[in-house]
Structure 1
């Protein structure tokens, strides 16, 4: 039988009550003529009776098609769910008094599916209660921060037999699960979109579509029989071997040699909702407890607006320290900053607040509407059209160094200092119990400490130093006259220090070569840098490299990996120690 015949057969099996061919036409969205033909085929095969009930032969036909279990994918950050995902993982969001993942589990139980595996990662501890409550099995994706659900599904590839694959963020109006399935399918909706890569054909075949073509919205719920499961498992294991696939969804495994492993199954778009954003949750259930979020409540209080006035919430790129999101309120755009993992140990928010108060009158930073000196929440006006500095464009770099020199010339004073060597020790202490990943760390640290004497011998006039003056924190903001204004943002670490530290920080974040480091120094000093100061900046590059290397190691313990950046910082510590000793004639 073809899949259309199988689908009609299952509709007959699962219908409770007196069924007619006209009703069957409504249930399947097939024409009455098509239904007449399918019913004829099923009757000729002795699978159904004239009264549209299942025969004994039909029951035998189902015997090998019982659904074995389900895999629920719940490992990801759910970044688009900001700010809710700062407090709870997406699968545990409540809709109409019921958590999303619990609703899915209950719907599975309703059709006697109890073998359920949940792949978790982000906030995995919050799912632990499901083990006792529903007797599910949890599988942990420890690499959820770097790898998408392609890797999550590969972790349970051995379980891909007669089972459903279920995203945790789906809310179905009616139970989408059945006790029996007769073919492998991937669920799409009847809504068409440019963002989909598949289209369902009349014969239920799934075809790939181009980027400029309409496709059916991909819902993600999937049924996988034994044969398809074996093929899919092999595809998954092969795909995850290539790091280039780390950020892909598992759906890249749908097609093999341009042919889809699964048939398509279509559902009315009104019957299912993928809860991907705060606004989608609010539209579905304006009384959800999860809408009572600290960040949202802060916005409503400080801007004196209603929650419904907060629209167009969009996650911004996840930063090294914070998570931020863009939103629109009463025709104006703002950015809300929410501190990231471990930030409470890394940043003194009272100090940051003091800095913003001191520099406010100079208009060199972002426009702060609200800042909380205790939890680090910050609301700033969105700088429309702003772009970051390109560290490889030395025309832009010169403009940034001019702005940095302007800051340093103000000689602003605050009551706190950023001691580079104490901060290195501090970051080491944060990762107590975890030795450095670098085997020669103690030797490198000892060498860097030797540079302290040279630095302290220099005549240094300390003033407010940004500390994190990296290219990403210099914004070029278009003005009404066509010119651009430079703003320096993210003053979390700003403190009293030698202003020349900012030059070193810009260089190492840009991962500059020695030639470009010297070029940067010459730009800042307008070609008038003494050898003594240049060597001092080399010292700062080594010291700051070790500083941020330790910072990266601590963040790595929290599940945040900065890849090449962290390796480069450690290498700067080693390389520039050698450069300094060479410049001073102290080669060992």
Structure 2
């Protein structure tokens, strides 16, 4: 059997068909094709001469009848900034109705009452659905670091005659039905530019690594029992493979020739809308209550513009501490920073605001247009054409170290201090009694805290230091200047800690660290000062390792970065001890 005769069989069941011409009109297939496929259905003993279903056909419908649905709602919805700081994507309202509620109602309207919602980000906000719609919730604890491959794998055991539905769709007409005869994946009817999907003449879905002219994918899928078992097997088998951490679950539908193993279901693009961005929501429903977010209200007030004048909103790469997005107002581009999870415990925004006041007008940092010392929201002018430092390029490193040295030599001062030893213990206190993931953590932290007497002995005059002076935070402007951004952790401290911070973020080994130290000190670094920078690398490694462990309690896992910082604590502590032992001989 094929898609065409199965489509015709479904129409015969659901419509009062009198003749082939009527069937052709309803299906959109040519009369010749209908005649040929109808003959095939009769040969298979599925339809009689009077367009009645046989018992064999009824058994086929029963076998493939939809039983349940899975709604995927675990992700951040990063492109929905700034809305996603307040509301998970599935609960965005269109025409005064949350997206996920509309989908649930459409499923229930065709008899699907067994509905599981896979949640993660802001999972508590979905809890009411259990009472109001009798759905079940499943939690994807890896939502912050892994893609929806793992959301579906979380419920792989319940797949079978199942609708799989993303939570970010608004469907004017329901894509669900009381009857299904084959597995399908929903695509738009019209061909669009910049698509990875194409439906060929054989009614096959072809995927590509390159964007081109094709059909818009909407993510809804129906899997019959047979295909669902194959997908579940792949999900479970591949879940442990690191290569799938960023995968969408749809990779399980592809064969070795990049064809989907399910048929396409084509829907009028004017009846289904995928909402990935603030502006897509605004385009669909200008009166949506979620358009008036706190972040946009602050932009409106700070820049003296209306909400409609805030356009071209585009998410930037998610930082380790914050979320940021680019936007345009009256032809000028800006960046809005929104504090990330747990930063109210990590950052003193009033102190950060004091730092920016000290830096104002000195051409050291980016141009701050607005800073809210209460909640940490910040607006800066976008540096068009700027690029980050290349940590492998010696010329870049020379210029960055010259800029850092110049900044330190200006001896700027603020009232607060960044004490790495106190912060190490403070970050650990935020774990709420949880143990470290590292077996020897207590022993290593005790050793690191013991370095305090050594660095104090050789400490340079405290000045305003950046503390988070990683290569990503050195921006080379198109005018030839360098700006140092992200001053959240800055405070009074030995400026040489900034060299150590650069090294451990760049992943430098001892030889590379020595080369950077020589650039900063212009080849004139005393031995004990060099050892002190090593010590700061160990101290900073423990600092950020504890920071990562706190963020992990919030569901944010930094993976290899966290492990790397812990190794710096251990390895450079050992190097310092070995070098000091040589000095004593």
Paired position in structure 2 for 1:513: 509
Classify 1:19/1:70 alpha carbon distance in 2 versus 1 (closer, same or farther; 3 Å): farther
Contact 1:476-1:487 at 8 Å conserved across structures: yes
Aligned partner of residue 211 in structure 1, secondary structure: strand
Classify 1:438/1:197 alpha carbon distance in 2 versus 1 (closer, same or farther; 3 Å): same
Deviations 1:60-105 (A, max 9, x none): 5533232111111111111111111111111111111111111011
Paired position in structure 1 for 2:127: 128
Paired position in structure 2 for 1:376: 376
**TM-score, normalised to structure 2's length?**
0.94
Count the aligned residue pairs: 582
Aligned partner of residue 116 in structure 1, secondary structure: strand
Q: Do structure 1's residue 180 and structure 2's residue 179 form an aligned pair?
A: yes
Mean alpha-carbon deviation: is it higher for 253-262 or for 72-81?
Answer: 253-262
Q: Matched residues in 1 for 2:569 and 2:76: separation?
A: 33
Contact 2:69-2:165 at 8 Å conserved across structures: yes
Q: Matched residues in 2 for 1:438 and 1:61: separation?
A: 56
Contact 2:400-2:482 at 8 Å conserved across structures: yes
Q: Do structure 1's residue 303 and structure 2's residue 303 form an aligned pair?
A: yes
Where do 1:294-373 residues align within 5 Å? 294-373=294-373
Deviations 1:471-497 (A, max 9, x none): 010001112xxxx21100001111111
Q: Matched residues in 1 for 2:18 and 2:198: separation?
A: 30
Q: Do structure 1's residue 77 and structure 2's residue 76 form an aligned pair?
A: yes
Paired position in structure 2 for 1:542: 538
Aligned partner of residue 507 in structure 2, secondary structure: coil
Q: Matched residues in 2 for 1:209 and 1:469: separation?
A: 40
Contact 1:78-1:276 at 8 Å conserved across structures: yes
Where do 1:89-488 residues align within 5 Å? 89-209=88-208, 211=210, 213-258=212-257, 259-458=259-458, 460-479=460-479, 484-488=480-484
Q: Matched residues in 2 for 1:140 and 1:46: separation?
A: 43
Instruction: Give the alignment partner of residue 585 of structure 1, picking from 578, 581, 584.
Output: 581
Mean alpha-carbon deviation: is it higher for 37-46 or for 116-125?
Answer: 37-46
Gaps of 5+ in 1: none
Deviations 1:501-540 (A, max 9, x none): 1111111111211111111111111111112222222221
Aligned partner of residue 175 in structure 1, secondary structure: coil
Classify 1:276/1:48 alpha carbon distance in 2 versus 1 (closer, same or farther; 3 Å): farther
Q: Matched residues in 2 for 1:378 and 1:22: separation?
A: 65
Alpha-carbon shift at residue 205 of structure 1 (Å): 2.4
Deviations 1:352-381 (A, max 9, x none): 111111111201111111110000001111
Contact 1:468-1:491 at 8 Å conserved across structures: yes
Q: Matched residues in 1 for 2:21 and 2:192: separation?
A: 30
Deviations 1:113-138 (A, max 9, x none): 11111111111111111111111111
Alpha-carbon shift at residue 576 of structure 1 (Å): 2.0
Aligned partner of residue 63 in structure 2, secondary structure: coil
Q: Matched residues in 2 for 1:85 and 1:19: separation?
A: 52
**TM-score, normalised to structure 1's length?**
0.94
Contact 1:4-1:203 at 8 Å conserved across structures: no
Deviations 1:561-586 (A, max 9, x none): 12222222222222222222222227
Deviations 1:171-221 (A, max 9, x none): 111111111101111111123245433322344222334625422211111
Q: Matched residues in 2 for 1:174 and 1:232: separation?
A: 27
Aligned partner of residue 215 in structure 2, secondary structure: strand
Q: Matched residues in 2 for 1:141 and 1:506: separation?
A: 34
Instruction: Give the alignment partner of residue 567 of structure 2, picking from 571, 574, 588.
Output: 571
RMSD, aligned α-carbons = 2.3
Gaps of 5+ in 2: none
Q: Matched residues in 1 for 2:330 and 2:94: separation?
A: 27
Q: Matched residues in 2 for 1:177 and 1:149: separation?
A: 21
